[in-house]
Amino acid sequence: MARIQQSVDIGVPAHVAYNQMTQFEDYPRFMQEVESAQQVDDTHVRWTTRIGQQTRDWNSEIIEQQPDQSIAWRNLDGPVNTGRVDVQALGENGARVTLTLEADAAHAGTEGDHAMAKQVQEDLQRLKQMMEAKGRETGAWRGAVHGGQVSGGGRSAASGATGSDNLSENALSKDTGGPDADGRFNVAEEVNLDQQSDAVRHAGNLPHQSTEGYGDMGSNEAVKNALQGNEGPGAEDKEKLDASIKRAVPPSN
């Protein structure tokens, strides 16, 4: 059994580093031999690797996952038997990420453990560069797994727990997440802002039923008639009502 363990120190908070490591579909961005990783469900990932001209697919099962600490999986087939990521805080703005792989000796490669360790270290250096350049995670899953069973909510409920990618319900914000950001506003927020603007524009309008049947009369007269009802007050009360309305709603110029 070949056991490879390599670490890298990254200049981001530990929870950010951990959140990134939950995003298996981003592993090809820093693992050279990984062509793709598909998150099938909370505890299963399908991998495709390319070594030289040979492509290979296999499935893995996440068996343990503890937020901000560790992720462990076992391969149901493929060249590596198990994998594990451990995250250790180094102060408030630093983290040590340790990747441990165990493989059959036959799968260690012709150059042995040394070549495999070198490959893992290069992968971790790419992870470091990617995270420090961006400064935040690309996503997050904050659920826990024990014995292959999920606790603490599924991926749909827990994504983005750090809030770094969350958008305020009513605020309009730009994507400033990195060099690829195009500065466009979020569509859902634009719709929300339009709805708020419509509400503001109509806030001062009279209710529809208050002016219905009064034709083109002015707003003061419409309010007066709406308050009077069908029968209306007497002459004395009408004068008082007129004066009150004029004080409350000055006539427009």
Q: Which two tokens stand for residue 246?
A: 């004029």
**What 3-state class would DSSP assign to 84?**
strand
Q: Residue-wise over 222-234: b if at least 16 C-beta within 10 A, else e?
A: bbbbbeeeeeeee
Using 50, 70 and 90 to split pLDDT, how confident is the model at 164? Answer: very low
Q: State mean pLDDT over 204-224.
A: 46
Q: Residue 5's pLDDT band (boundaries 50, 70, 90)?
A: very high
Sign of CA dihedral 129, 131, 135, 138: positive
Residue 174 near residue 181 (C-beta atoms within 8 A): yes
- Answer whether 10's CB lies under 8 Å from 25's CB: no
109 contacts 91 by C-beta, under 8 angstroms: no
Measure Cα distances from 156 to 19, 23, 110, 147 in Å: 14, 13, 42, 21
- In this prediction, residues 179-198 reach a mean pLDDT of 39
| Residue that wins the pLDDT comparison between 15 and 208 | 15
- Fold entry, domain 2-155: Alpha-D-Glucose-1,6-Bisphosphate; Chain A, domain 4 (3.30.530)
> What are the C-alpha distances in Å from 100 to residues 26, 30, 85, 130, 138?
18, 16, 6, 20, 22
Sequence ranges of the domains in the chain: 2-155, 167-202, 208-248
Mean pLDDT across 220-235? 49
Find the mean pLDDT for residues 187-207: 42
Least confident of 112-126, 164-178, 183-197: 164-178
Contacts (Cβ under 8 Å, ≥6 apart) of 82: 72, 73, 74, 75, 100, 101, 102
Q: What is the pLDDT of residue 81?
A: 83
Tell me the per-residue pLDDT of 41-68, one tens digit each, with 9 for 90 and over: 999 999 999 887 889 999 999 999 999 9
Q: Which two tokens stand for residue 92?
A: 């408030």
Which pLDDT tens digit goes with each residue over 95-120? 999 999 988 765 555 567 888 899 99
Give the pLDDT confidence score for residue 114 in this predicted structure: 87
